[in-house]
C-alpha cells in the first residue's frame, strides 16, 4: 500500500454496469469504455470484489440529467442516432456532437444514463451514510457543459453527483487529477462557496483556454476554484510536493463535508494524450491521501488512453480504497494479452524523460495557490 496507509478498512460500494464495455465511440477513437470492463475483470480475478458491496447502478432518468443540463440538450441527446444525425446536423453543431471528439454512436443515450446512474447511485449511497467510499470508474466525464458535449463527455456526471451530495452536506470538495482541466465542473460551481474545485492538469493541451492559476472563482465562489497547471514530465515526488500541501491546506481552511476525486488515468506515464510521468503508485497516493481524511469519498474515473494502464491503475486504486494489497504479478484474466510483455501491476516511471517543472516554478505555483486558499479563511 502507498506510504501512510492506516491499515483501517473502509466500507466500500462499487458501481458497475456489465454492459458498459460494449459501447464504442468509434474504432479509432481514443476513449474506450472497454477499459471499465477490463478493470472489473481484474478486480474479480484479484478477488477484490469480495471486499466491497458491488452494485449494478440504476440508470439515470432524464429528470436526473436536467438537474444540470438543459431540457433541450437532453431531449436532443435522447433523440440523436447514427441514422438521423444527417437530418439533425444543425442541432448536432449547436450541441457539439458529431465532431471527432464527441461522435454519435449506437446506444449513446444509454451509455450516458448508465455512467451517470453509477455516479448518482454512488453519491446517494454516501448520503445514506451506509458506505465510507463509493466508486464509479465509468464516470468522471468532467468536460460536459449545461447545453453541450465536450471532450468525449456528453453528460457531466461529476456535477450531478456533487449536486446530489449537496442535498445532505454544506460543503463538497472536488479534486481532479485527470491530465486535462476539469472545466465543466469548475464552471458549474464557479460562483458558489458550497463546492470547492481543485484541478491539477497539463498546460497547453485541451481545453486550451481554461484552468489558469488566476481563475479562482467569482462572487460567493471567489477563492473556491483552484487551478494547478503543470508542465510535461512531472514525477510522483514533484507532483506530491504540490498535491499534499495544497489539499492539506484546503482541508484545514475549507473543511469540506464530502470529497469527490476524479481519478483520470491519463496523468500516468505513457498516456498517448498526456505527458506526465506519474506511476500507478504515485497516482494512487492521491486516493490514499484523500481517504486518510475519513470523510465520505466518491471516486470517479475519467480519462486514460493507454488501455493496459487504466485497468491496472483503477484496480490498484480500488484495492487502496478497500485497504487490501495486490500481488504485482497479474492474475490470469480475460484480457491477459493486453498486459504483456511484463504482466505486472506496476511499471517504473519513464527513464530519462525530462521533468520540465523546475523546483522554482513549482515553488512559485505552490506559494500562489496556498496564498489564494488562505484568503477564504475566517
Ligand atoms: C475526460 N485530444 C477527455 C479529454 C478530451 C480531449 C483531444 C483527441 C483525439 C480525438 C480523436 C482521436 C485523438 C489522438 C486528443 C481540438 C481538437 C483536436 C479530433 C481529432 N484521437 C478527458 C479532447 C481533445 C477522435 N480535443 O479529460 C477520434 O487524439 O484537442 C482537442 C480538439 C479538435 C478535434 N480533433 C482533436 O480525459 C474523459 N482529442 C481519434 C479519433
Ligand atoms: Ca485535472
Ligand atoms: Zn483527460
pLDDT for the residue 378: 60
Q: Find cell 500516468 and name the residue.
A: 268
186 lines ligand 1 (CB under 6 A): no
Can you tell me the distance from the alpha carbon of 107 to that of 109, in angstroms, rounded to the nearest whole number? 6
pLDDT for the residue 377: 74
Torsional class of 26: left (φ above 0), alpha (ψ -120 to 50), beta (otherwise): left
| Cβ 173 vs Cβ 162: under 8 Å | no
Task: Tell me what ipTM this predicted complex has.
Answer: 0.99
Going from the Cα of 30 to the center of ligand 1, the distance in angstroms, rounded, reads: 7
Cβ within 8 Å of residue 160, ≥6 positions away: 60, 64, 65, 67, 68, 116, 119, 120
What mean pLDDT value characterizes the chain? 97
Residue 2 clears pLDDT 50, i.e. is over it: no
DSSP-assigned letters across all residues of 44-62: HHTT-GGGSEEEPPPPPPH
pLDDT for the residue 5: 58
Residue nearest to atom 27 of ligand 1 (CA): 180
302 lines ligand 1 (CB under 6 A): yes
Q: Which residues surround ligand 3, an ion (CB under 5 A)?
A: 178, 180, 264, 266, 303
Going from the Cα of 180 to the center of ligand 1, the distance in angstroms, rounded, reads: 11
211 lines ligand 1 (CB under 6 A): no
Can you tell me the distance from the alpha carbon of 67 to that of 183, in angstroms, rounded to the nearest whole number? 18
Residue 1 clears pLDDT 60, i.e. is over it: no
User: What pLDDT digit, counting tens, does each position of 286-345 carry?
Assistant: 999 999 999 999 999 999 999 999 999 999 999 999 999 999 999 999 999 999 999 999
Residue 139 clears pLDDT 50, i.e. is over it: yes
| Cβ 158 vs Cβ 138: under 8 Å | no
**Torsions phi, psi of 55, nearest 5?**
-125, 145
Q: Where residue 365 falls among pLDDT bands split at 50, 70, 90? A: very high
Amino acid at each position: 500500500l502507498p506510504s501512510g496507509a492506516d491499515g483501517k478498512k473502509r466500507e466500500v460500494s462499487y458501481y458497475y454496469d456489465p454492459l458498459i464495455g460494449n459501447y464504442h465511440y468509434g474504432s479509432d477513437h481514443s476513449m474506450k469504455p472497454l477499459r471499465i470492463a477490463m478493470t472489473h475483470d481484474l478486480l474479480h480475478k484479484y478477488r477484490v470484489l469480495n471486499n466491497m458491496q458491488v452494485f449494478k447502478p440504476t440508470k439515470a432518468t432524464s429528470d436526473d440529467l436536467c438537474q444540470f443540463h438543459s431540457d433541450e440538450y437532453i431531449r436532443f441527446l435522447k433523440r440523436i442516432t447514427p441514422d438521423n444525425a444527417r437530418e439533425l446536423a444543425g442541432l448536432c453543431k449547436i450541441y457539439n456532437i458529431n465532431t471527432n471528439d464527441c461522435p454519435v454512436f449506437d446506444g449513446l443515450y444509454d451509455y450516458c444514463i448508465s455512467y451517470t446512474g453509477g455516479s448518482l447511485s454512488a453519491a446517494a449511497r454516501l448520503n445514506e451514510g451506509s458506505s465510507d467510499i463509493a466508486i464509479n470508474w465509468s464516470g468522471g466525464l468532467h468536460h460536459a457543459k449545461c447545453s453541450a458535449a465536450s471532450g468525449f463527455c456528453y453528460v457531466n456526471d461529476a456535477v450531478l453527483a456533487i449536486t446530489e451530495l449537496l442535498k445532505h452536506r454544506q460543503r463538497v470538495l472536488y479534486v481532479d487529477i485527470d491530465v486535462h482541466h476539469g472545466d465543466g465542473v469548475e464552471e458549474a460551481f464557479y460562483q458558489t462557496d458550497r463546492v470547492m474545485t481543485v484541478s491539477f492538469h497539463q498546460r497547453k493541451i485541451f481545453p486550451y483556454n481554461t484552468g489558469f492559476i488566476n481563475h479562482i472563482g467569482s462572487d460567493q465562489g471567489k477563492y473556491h476554484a483552484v487551478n494547478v497547471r503543470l508542465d510535461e514530465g512531472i514525477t510522483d515526488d514533484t507532483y506530491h510536493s504540490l498535491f499534499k500541501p495544497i489539499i492539506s491546506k484546503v482541508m484545514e481552511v475549507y473543511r469540506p463535508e464530502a470529497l469527490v476525486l476524479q481519478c483520470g488515468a491519463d496523468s500516468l506515464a505513457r498516456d498517448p494524450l498526456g505527458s506526465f510521468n506519474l506511476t500507478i503508485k504515485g497516482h494512487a497516493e492521491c486516493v490514499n491521501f484523500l481517504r486518510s481524511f475519513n470523510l465520505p469519498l466518491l471516486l470517479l474515473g475519467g480519462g486514460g488512453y493507454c488501455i493496459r494502464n487504466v485497468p491496472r491503475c483503477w484496480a490498484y486504486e480500488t484495492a487502496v480504497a478497500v485497504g487490501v494489497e495486490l500481488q504485482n504479478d497479474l492474475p490470469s484474466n480475460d484480457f491477459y494479452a493486453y498486459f504483456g510483455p511484463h504482466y505486472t501491476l506496476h511499471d517504473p516511471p519513464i527513464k530519462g524523460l525530462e521533468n520540465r517543472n523546475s523546483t522554482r516554478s513549482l515553488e512559485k505555483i505552490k506559494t500562489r495557490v496556498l496564498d489564494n486558499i488562505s484568503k477564504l479563511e475566517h
